[in-house]
DNA sequence: GTGAGCCTTCAGCTATTCCTCAGGTCCCTG
DNA sequence: CAGGGACCTGAGGAATAGCTGAAGGCTCAC
C-alpha cells in the first residue's frame, strides 16, 4: 500500500511498483490508510511521514504491517530512529531504484528468511544485494553509491534496452533537474570499473540507449 | 512468550525475536499470560512487572517457565534483585541487544549446560559472551558497555551491512532521542581499540552503513 | 564530596562523490 | 570523404558523508 497526500508521488510509486509486479493499493491520508490497512492486510505500507490528518508515526502505530517511511531530508529524519524492527525509511526526494531496494529488503527481513534472489548474475559479473559487493571475473570491485544503483538497474534489466530517460527516471532522484549527460558519465565509470575485460557486457545502442548482456556468440 | 500491555513494546520485542529465529507468542495482561503459558509451555517468558491486572510477580509464581522481567529503573528494580524471583531482569528503556543477550543467558543456564555459541569469532577477532572478554590478534581488549554491545551486534551480523538507523535501533535504548552521530563516535572508538591492525574488519559503506567482515580477496 | 570512566554532542577537517563541461572520437549519412 | 550528431572521458569545483579530538555532563564507586 502507498500512502501519500501528493498525487504525483502516489502515482509515481504505484505505477513503478505495479510495473515490477506488485499489487498496489493507495491512500491519500492517515484515516484512509488505517481503514484500508485493516480491511486488506497489506504485506507492506509505504508511508509518508507528513500527512494532512494523522502523521505517519501514528498511522504506523495503528497498523500491523511493516512500514517503509518516506521523509524529508531534515529534522524529521532523526525522529525516524526508533523504528520498529522490520521497518526502514527513505528520504525525499528518492529514486525508484532506492525505494524498490528498501521494499525488497523489508519484505525479506519480515517475511520468512526464504532469501529470494539476493544475488544477481550476468556472465562473470555478480552483484550481492545484501553485502552490496560486486565482482567481475572473480575480482571484487568497489563502487560508489550511484555507480552501484546504476549497475543494479542494469542487472535487474539484463538483456533489455534502457533509454537514458528511463535510466534517469529510475536511478536518479525524481527531482533531478540536470540532463542525460550524467548517465553517460556514469556508464563510463562503470565500464572502467566492471567492464574492462572481455566479454564486454555494457553495449551502446546509438540514439536508443544502453543494454547489459552477453554478446551473442559468433 | 512476550508479556506487556503496551503494544509498541510487544511488537518491538516479538519482531526482533522472530527475526533472530525464535518462535514468539504474546500476551497483553496477566491472566492471558498465565493461560497461554499453561497451554503452550514456553521455554521462557519475557514479563513486564507492571501489568493492568495481575502484577508480574504474581504471574511468575503461577507459571513454571523461566522468567526475564522487564522493569522500570526505580524501586521495583531493587525488589526484583532482592526477591530471587525470576531468573534475570532488564530495566526499561532497554536495547534489543541487551534483551537478547539476557534471554540467551537464561536459556543457556536453565536449559541443559550445552553451552551453544557463547563465543563469536571473525578472523582474529574473538568475543566471549560469558566473560564479556574480547581479543584482537590474541591481545585482550577492554571495552566499555556500549562499545561491547556495538561490537557484539557487529559480530552477530558479520558480513551483513548494517545501517546507522539499524544500529541505533538495536544497540541503543529504544527511547534514545539523539541522532546517528553517536554511532560514528563509537565506531571510531571500536576501530581504535579492536581494528588498529591488518586486516581491517570494520568497513564504511558511504551513505549506506557499516559492515564487519574480512576484506574480500582480490 | 571527589575523581574516574562513560556517554553524547559538536565542529573542523578529510576524503569521497556528484555533476558539469568541453574537447575529442566514433559512426552514420549524404 | 566530409559533416554532424551522438557518445566518451578527463578534469575540476561544489557538495556531502564520515572521522576524530575535545569538551560538558552524568553516574557510580570510593
As a three-state string, the secondary structure of B80-97 is HHHHCCCCEEEEECCCHH
pLDDT surpassing 80 at residue A110: no
| Interchain CB distance below 8 Å, A131 and B211 | yes
Say what the pLDDT of residue A53 is.
95
| Interchain CB distance below 8 Å, A85 and B165 | no
**Entry pTM:** 0.92
Interface test with A, best of B15, B23, B158 (most A CBs within 10 A): B15
pLDDT band for A191, please (50, 70, 90 cuts): very high
Strand C interface, protein residues by Cβ within 7 Å: A 142, 144-147, 172-173, 176-179, 181-182, 185, 206; B 142, 144-147, 172, 176-179, 181-182, 184-186, 206
Say what the pLDDT of residue B95 is.
95
* Strand B125-128 to B133-136 pairing: antiparallel
Beta partners for residue B69, in sequence order: B47, B89
pLDDT surpassing 90 at residue B30: yes
How distant is C1' of D24 from CA of B210, in Å? 29
Q: Which residue of A has its CA nearest to B211?
A: A131
Top mean pLDDT of A57-71, A191-205, B114-128 is at: A191-205
Strand C contact nucleotides, protein CB < 7 Å: 5-11, 16-22, 27-28
Say what the pLDDT of residue B167 is.
95
Angle at CA B203, nearest 5°, toward A107 and B133? 95
The C-alpha of A94 sits at a distance from chain B's nearest C-alpha, in angstroms, of 14
Say what the pLDDT of residue B117 is.
66
pLDDT surpassing 70 at residue A76: no
**For residue A161, what are the CA distances in angstroms to A64, A132, A207?**
40, 24, 12
Three-state DSSP string of A171-209: HCCCCCCCCCHHHHHHHHHHHHHHCCCCCCCEEEECCCE
How distant is C1' of C3 from CA of B155, in Å? 34
| Interchain CB distance below 8 Å, B176 and A82 | yes
Say what the pLDDT of residue B152 is.
98
| Interchain CB distance below 8 Å, A83 and B8 | no
The helix-helix angle for B164-171 and B96-110 (nearest 10°) equals 50
Half-sphere exposure of B67 (CA within 13 A, CB side): 23
Give pLDDT tens digits for B131-151. Answer: 999 999 999 999 999 999 999
d(Cα B196, Cα B136) in Å, to the nearest integer?
9
Say what the pLDDT of residue B128 is.
95
d(Cα B179, Cα A80) in Å, to the nearest integer?
10
Say what the pLDDT of residue B7 is.
87
Average pLDDT value for chain B: 91
Average pLDDT over residues A170-185: 96
Average pLDDT over residues A55-68: 90
Residue A192 buriedness (CB in 10 A; 0-12 / 13-18 / 19+): exposed
Long-range contacts of the stretch A58-65 (C-beta < 8 A, 24+):
A58/A30, A59/A3, A59/A30, A59/A33, A59/A34, A60/A84, A60/A87, A61/B7, A61/B8, A62/A34, A62/A37, A63/A33, A63/A34, A63/A37, A63/A38, A64/A37, A64/B11, A65/A1, A65/A37, A65/A41
pLDDT band for A197, please (50, 70, 90 cuts): very high
pLDDT band for A112, please (50, 70, 90 cuts): low
pLDDT band for A61, please (50, 70, 90 cuts): confident
How distant is C1' of C19 from CA of B77, in Å? 57
B138 touching A, CB under 8 A? Answer: no
Whether the CB of B64 is less than 7 Å away from nucleic strand D comes out as no
Alpha helices in chain B (DSSP H): 7-19, 30-40, 56-62, 75-83, 96-110, 145-156, 164-171, 181-194
pLDDT band for A217, please (50, 70, 90 cuts): low
Say what the pLDDT of residue A148 is.
98
pLDDT surpassing 80 at residue B176: yes
pLDDT band for B177, please (50, 70, 90 cuts): confident
Residues of B in contact with A82 (CB under 8 A): 168-169, 174-176
pLDDT surpassing 60 at residue B218: no
Beta partners for residue A26, in sequence order: A2
- Worst-scoring range by mean pLDDT, A124-128, A141-145, A166-170, B87-91? B87-91
Name the residue with cell 510477580: B57
**For residue A133, what are the CA distances in angstroms to A101, A193, A199?**
15, 13, 21
pLDDT surpassing 90 at residue A183: yes
The helix-helix angle for B96-110 and B7-19 (nearest 10°) equals 60
Half-sphere exposure of B171 (CA within 13 A, CB side): 25
pLDDT band for B109, please (50, 70, 90 cuts): confident
Half-sphere exposure of A2 (CA within 13 A, CB side): 23
pLDDT band for A30, please (50, 70, 90 cuts): very high
pLDDT surpassing 70 at residue A122: yes
Question: What region does B115 belong to: left with phi over 0, alpha with psi -120 to 50, or beta?
Answer: left
Q: Which residue of A has its CA nearest to B18?
A: A110
pLDDT surpassing 60 at residue A56: yes
| Interchain CB distance below 8 Å, B207 and A132 | no
Average pLDDT value for chain A: 92
Amino acid at each position: 500500500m502507498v500512502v501519500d497526500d501528493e498525487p504525483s508521488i502516489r502515482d509515481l510509486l504505484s505505477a513503478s511498483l505495479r510495473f515490477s509486479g506488485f499489487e498496489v493499493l493507495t491512500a491519500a491520508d492517515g484515516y484512509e490508510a488505517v481503514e484500508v490497512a485493516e480491511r486488506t492486510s497489506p504485506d507492506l505500507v509505504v508511508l509518508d511521514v507528513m500527512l494532512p490528518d494523522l502523521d505517519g508515526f501514528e498511522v504506523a502505530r495503528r497498523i500491523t504491517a511493516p512500514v517503509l517511511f518516506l521523509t524529508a531530508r531534515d529534522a524529521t529524519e532523526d525522529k525516524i530512529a526508533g523504528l520498529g524492527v522490520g521497518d526502514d525509511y527513505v528520504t525525499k526526494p528518492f529514486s525508484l531504484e532506492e525505494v524498490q531496494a528498501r521494499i525488497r529488503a523489508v519484505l525479506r527481513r519480515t517475511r520468512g528468511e526464504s532469501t529470494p534472489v539476493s544475488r544477481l548474475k550476468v556472465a562473470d559479473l555478480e552483484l550481492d544485494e545484501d553485502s552490496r559487493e560486486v565482482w567481475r571475473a572473480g575480482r571484487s570491485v568497489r563502487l560508489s553509491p550511484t555507480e552501484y544503483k546504476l549497475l543494479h538497474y542494469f542487472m535487474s534489466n539484463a538483456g533489455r534496452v534502457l533509454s537514458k530517460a528511463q535510466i534517469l527516471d529510475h536511478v536518479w532522484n525524481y527531482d533531478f533537474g540536470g540532463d542525460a549527460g550524467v548517465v553517460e558519465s556514469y556508464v563510463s565509470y562503470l565500464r572502467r570499473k566492471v567492464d574492462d575485460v572481455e566479454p564486454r557486457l555494457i553495449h551502446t545502442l546509438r540514439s536508443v540507449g544502453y543494454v547489459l548482456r552477453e554478446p551473442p556468440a559468433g
